[in-house]
A and B are shown apart, each in its own frame.
Chain A
């Protein structure tokens, strides 16, 4: 082990202490377990909820006033779409198709409000007399039923009416089936290896959010760690044994290693859960036209995200270490953390807009700026095809900025760690940067 290089014995000793002190803490155990549980919960919960809602779906109640009793075939078709439907008995005196028929349905529904029948209806479909000619039916909703039900109803109704019309025109049943045989549009990505575009984009968003959360969590951990050493006066012994930059680097490496171990644990658990979860969901997904065998693991996205995690972490950790060294009490730390957090929060604010237009000029420019690139670039890699030169330029700019910032942070750290009492004012601060 070298005794003077950046990774000398003392730096590694500090890094090892930081790592074990945190990995053995209750916080680590808790957060490492809770996050995968939340994730697994988030995957299982919708399935559980869907199961419960489909076990007893509310039926569509049909008031059929057509001469042809079209509701019979309609109910069959709706059942195929998974929409349960029942016919409501038609009451006397409502057999003339006037606007009042709808009104009478309304008043009938309202009159039955609160009864068992009303409670269990998803919506009411009114098939008026002369439907074949007019082609117009009415769906009465109390609560919005959503686009899925509306589309199912209108598709089924169209098929019933068209079949009946063709049959009247004298077409044989087989011919009608041939005419109405279903069509479909298959969706294919341009580059087969990419897999479905939507999934990649979603993954890009998840990665960007994950990077954001990790930068904030581990950054604050660094700032608070520095402050802890100051408030508990350990720093005095440390500076008599090693240089300030060695303390700072050791702390950054140790906490970075905590972050990596945590991510590795999460990735393993979530990966296993996803494989199991997706396997069980495969039949359902296949029905939606999603073939799992087509979904390739986006190695390029994972790889670039890792690169930007490392470089971004190094950049931000210097900022947070300096922030921690600048304050002397727990009360003051928020004041310096907020400015330090702004460059991390800003790309998250523009993230949704940037995802829509990942190659717009402003997004490209922002994704090259060192403070924003660690979060925006992985998103762009997911949502678009980023030219290699842009990726390399972003990383080069990041590394240069990290180097310059680490030097400045080292000076602030050196001056700040032994400071007690008052927070430095701006002129003092500038003096530190110049002479530290």
Chain B
């Protein structure tokens, strides 16, 4: 992989007896948009903090833009932390200008950029209000502006969409994709795997401090070797108790079924009809990231012999 924007190699970090990240290696090519996926407590935030040199790794190499994280590198990164924080008593535009200046922008430039971003995200009329008067969702949008204000080449977003309504999620997603089209590289973490599936071209999945898999979404799905069957039905679910069904996830309107190795899906359809179930949809498909993740994380946990939930 030529010229990766982020490169981790054999990175580990412990806090006391707790292993937060263990032997993590991955590369992020320039211009890509990558989801850092995993359940709560998997080590996503620690990984991000290591990339930003907020905490130093115990072992391993971290490179950003092909070298260590210098001042120069920091000013090219935009970071949205999971714990949002702003000076509550400062005015919105001034606060944004302050963050922009810390990244090397001039005061006037930062202020005018801040105002145009506020206009774009429907906050133009609140530019001169104190942050504390804004709702939580508004504050989150202001925080997001602080991340993109200085036109960073690398965006690192920790749970960027959590707590936002669908309208604002779409608004921010549009901005993120636009920044990527303009050449920025994006790494964002989320525990909502369905979110990531919509916009990511790459994923890196971690669970229990270790990497489960990473790579382009297409490859991940192909290489998973899993074939999935989606069935929408009316009737009793007892036909799912079948040797060809390795796993079944009830999504509510349909079930997603992981097939056992070498199993013929037609045997399941036959069995369903035999038990008097009405089939509305029967589709052989590639697995969702969620299924791949559950399958892989589960396999690892079984291998490790600990039964923590994934």
Residues of chain A touching chain B, judged by Cβ–Cβ distance below 8 Å, are 3-4, 9-10, 13-14, 17, 21, 25, 229, 232-243, 418
Contacts and interface: CB of A to CB of B under 8 A. Distances in A.
A236 B54 contact: yes
B90 A21 contact: yes
Contacts of A21: 87, 89-90
B29 interface: no
B274 interface: no
Nearest to B143: A237
Interface residues of B, number: 24
Contact of B77 (A240, A243, A418): A240
A232 B102 contact: no
B85 A240 contact: no
B84 A233 contact: yes
B71 A3 contact: yes
B215 to A, nearest CB: 27
The majority secondary structure among interface residues of chain B is loop
A241 B74 contact: yes
A17 B98 contact: yes
Contacts of B54: 236, 239-240, 418
A229 B146 CA distance: 16
Nearest to B45: A236
Nearest to A4: B71
Contact of B98 (A13, A229, A233): A13
Nearest to B110: A13
A418 B56 CA distance: 13
Nearest to A234: B85
Contacts of B161: none
The A interface, classified by DSSP as helix, strand, loop or mixed, is helix
A236 B101 contact: no
A235 to B, nearest CB: 7
Contacts of A241: 74-75, 99, 102-103
A9 B98 CA distance: 12
Contact of A233 (B75, B81, B99, B102): B81
A394 to B, nearest CB: 37
21 contacts: A9-B101, A13-B98, A13-B101, A13-B102, A17-B87, A21-B87, A21-B89, A21-B90, A232-B85, A232-B86, A233-B81, A234-B85, A236-B81, A237-B81, A237-B99, A240-B52, A240-B54, A240-B81, A241-B74, A241-B102, A243-B71
B85 A235 contact: yes
B294 interface: no
Contacts of B55: 418
B83 interface: yes
Given A4-B71, A240-B79, A418-B54, A10 B102 contact: yes
B116 interface: no
Contacts of B237: none
Nearest to B146: A237
Contacts of B79: 237, 240
B183 interface: no
B86 A234 contact: yes
Interface of B: 52, 54-55, 71, 74-75, 77, 79, 81, 83-90, 98-99, 101-104, 146
Contacts of A237: 79, 81, 85, 99, 146
Nearest to A230: B85
A238 B74 CA distance: 11
B87 A232 contact: yes
Given A232-B88, A240-B54, 16 more contacts: A4-B71, A9-B101, A9-B104, A10-B102, A21-B87, A21-B89, A21-B90, A235-B85, A236-B81, A237-B81, A237-B99, A238-B102, A239-B54, A240-B77, A241-B74, A241-B103
Contacts of B75: 241
Q: Pick the most buried of B71, B74, B103, B146: most chain A CB atoms within 10 A of its CB.
A: B71
B85 A236 contact: yes
Contacts of B146: 237
Interface pairs A-B: 3 shortest CB-CB:
A233-B85, A233-B83, A234-B85
A242 B81 CA distance: 15
Contacts of A14: 102
A235 B52 CA distance: 14
A233 B84 CA distance: 6
Nearest to B90: A21
B196 to A, nearest CB: 22
Contacts of B84: 233
A71 to B, nearest CB: 73
Nearest to A232: B85
B86 to A, nearest CB: 6
A413 to B, nearest CB: 14
Contacts of A13: 98, 101-102
Contacts of A235: 85
Given A21-B89, A232-B88, A233-B84, A240 B99 contact: no
Contacts of B52: 239-240
A427 to B, nearest CB: 12
A233 B89 CA distance: 14
Contacts of A418: 54-55
Contacts of A239: 52, 54
A225 to B, nearest CB: 10
A376 to B, nearest CB: 38
A268 to B, nearest CB: 28
Contacts of A25: 89
A157 B55 CA distance: 86
A57 B272 CA distance: 114
Among B54, B87, B102, residue most surrounded by chain A Cβ atoms (within 10 Å): B102
A243 B102 CA distance: 11
Nearest to A13: B101
B90 A240 contact: no
A422 to B, nearest CB: 11
A13 B101 CA distance: 7
B75 to A, nearest CB: 8
A9 B72 CA distance: 13
B93 to A, nearest CB: 13
Nearest to A3: B71
B203 to A, nearest CB: 23
A17 B75 CA distance: 19
B74 to A, nearest CB: 6
A235 B83 CA distance: 10
Contacts of B104: 9
A241 B54 CA distance: 10
B110 to A, nearest CB: 10
A233 B81 CA distance: 9
A236 B46 CA distance: 12
Nearest to A242: B102
A236 B71 CA distance: 16
